[in-house]
Amino acid sequence: MNVKKWIVLGVGSLIVAGASVRGGSSGFLSFGSAAYTIAVSQTSAGGIPQYSYESSWGPNIVALALGTQPATNQTLAFAINCGSSAGLLAVYDTITSTMTTIAQTTSFDTVQDANLTTGATNAERFVAVFNVQPVGNLAGGYLTVAGRLHLDANGCPVAVLAAQDHDPLDKAMGDEDIVKYTPGNPKGITLRAGQVHFMGVLDVISNGQTNTVLVPTGHLTLTGQLN
């Protein structure tokens, strides 16, 4: 199997509208995400264990979390407070303006960077551990999440022009702009807040049973703001 080709095809049509809302916990800012994951579970053919690979993108991740079919009004959101001490992964409903938490941090650590000309701190890299909440078809699990964010003058995450959202070390760090894989390379995404990658374990409920699903790799491209 050509794994590289399979991954690229798997992220097709994954684009999720940019979202930023104040919701969930007080002081949190939530950013919509283009997202994809590669998951590995175990099957058994004739009593012999076998790997089972599956790729998922934004709408499918949302549907799994909520235990529903994919819906255009629901977006995967990455939320973080000003000061970067806590974060959430959530589903934001653009019709009801409500958020459903999928996972929340147990630890969140950062290192920051300043503009050498102005001296203002304007970026940070982070590593955080998220506990997956029992919601929808998820019974639990955990995610180790790492990435980079742009910061405003108050130390809050902020989206910048997509043309300015680049870092020469993205590839080395494991970050990638997955928006570009969307067919037609849509022009609607003009703002980005950063890039994120993750790995972990999901406890997924299927046919009344809880199964362990490994997530060796996943990516989020954090996009712009929603009213």
Residue 225's pLDDT is what?
63
14 within a domain of the structure (yes/no): yes
Q: Return d(Cα 177, Cα 35) in angstroms, integer.
A: 10
**Using 50, 70 and 90 to split pLDDT, how confident is the model at 20?**
very low
11 within a domain of the structure (yes/no): yes
Q: What share of the chain is helix, strand, coil (3-state, %, to 5)?
A: 10, 55, 35
Residue 27's pLDDT is what?
66
Q: Return d(Cα 185, Cα 15) in angstroms, integer.
A: 10
Picking from 130, 99, 124, the residue whose alpha carbon sits closest to that of residue 111 is 124
Residue 63: which domain range?
3-222
pLDDT at 82 over 80: yes
Identify the bridge partners of residue 111 per DSSP, sorted by sequence position. 125
**pLDDT tens digits for 112-171?**
999 888 888 999 999 999 999 999 899 999 999 999 999 999 889 999 998 888 899 999
Token pair recorded at residue 49: 């264990």
Number of domains in the chain: 1
- Taking a C-beta distance cutoff of 8 angstroms, is the pair 150, 143 a contact? no
192 within a domain of the structure (yes/no): yes
Residue 186's pLDDT is what?
54
128 within a domain of the structure (yes/no): yes
185 within a domain of the structure (yes/no): yes
**pLDDT tens digits for 180-208?**
775 455 556 788 899 999 999 999 998 88
227 within a domain of the structure (yes/no): no
Q: Are strands 48-57 and 87-93 parallel, antiparallel or unpaired?
A: unpaired
pLDDT at 14 over 50: no
- Residues in the chain, total: 227
17 within a domain of the structure (yes/no): yes
Helix (H, G, I), strand (E, B) or coil at 178: helix
102 within a domain of the structure (yes/no): yes
Helix (H, G, I), strand (E, B) or coil at 129: strand
Q: What single-letter DSSP state applies at residue 157? A: B
- Taking a C-beta distance cutoff of 8 angstroms, is the pair 17, 191 a contact? no
Residue tagged 């255009």 (tokens): 72
| Side-chain half-sphere exposure of 62, counting CA atoms within 13 A | 26
pLDDT at 4 over 50: no
Burial class (CB in 10 A: 0-12, 13-18, 19+), 7: middle
- The answer to which of 27-36, 85-94, 137-146 has the lowest mean pLDDT is 27-36
pLDDT at 214 over 70: yes
Q: Return d(Cα 154, Cα 117) in angstroms, integer.
A: 18
